[in-house]
Amino acid sequence: MIMNNDGINFYKKSSYLDKSRWVSYFFQTSLVKSCTESGRILEVGVGSGLVSEFFKTIYDLKTVDINPDLKPDYIGSVEDMFFLPENYFDVVLCSEVLEHLPFEKLSRSLESLKRVSSQYIVISLPYWGYTFGFKLRLPFIGEKTVKFKINLIKKHKFSGQHYWELGKRGFPVWRIKNIFFKSGLKIKKSFWDIDDPYHYYFVLEK
């Protein structure tokens, strides 16, 4: 989350809009569509605005961001969205946002997301690790993927943006899943993909 006008220019840089970012947009949009084909959607964190523009063609979309320069519908933080009605949005998308807050605020942020969602929450988080893998496309069999990560060996250092990342020492995936469970959320789907190894995706259900 970028807090000034530089944030608008940051999201337009080619270094930001690289191939993996577009793959991330694909997963964000397809996971929301897998939850519902119509209805009310809340996007937490506007970013480049490209996902928002796509959703506007399908859904009744509202956006929340702490940066007013990104022109969200509502200005506010993911940890405190109590200005929005309860159980109102069919799907809440929160992509690459939670790591911008200290880890101890994760549970409160999940409660805030859960409060405004009527059923589904789609979350993506950075997922660090040394990635190895390949894809095969075979006749009559289709596409097969082999992938694995070596992680949990590097300690996270605050970069000015991310307070924590999955895959860093002390932040295994099972720990985050356990926090989801304690927040009363069911994990409908969770994965990372070889085409976008830096992001881990979760579809959560109330």
pTM score, two decimals?
0.89
Instruction: Delineate the domains of the chain, giving CATH numbers in brackets.
Output: 5-129+157-205 (3.40.50.150)
Query: For residue 71, which of 58, 83, 62 has the smallest C-alpha distance?
Result: 62
Instruction: Express each pLDDT in 38-95 by its tens digit.
Output: 999 999 999 889 999 999 999 999 999 999 999 999 999 999 999 999 999 999 999 9
The C-alpha atoms of residue 77 and residue 112 are separated, in whole angstroms, by 10
Query: For residue 125, which of 171, 88, 82 has the smallest C-alpha distance?
Result: 171
Both tokens of 31, joined, read: 């996971």
| Beta carbons within 8 Å of 174's beta carbon, 6+ residues apart | none
Least confident of 48-57, 142-151, 153-162: 142-151
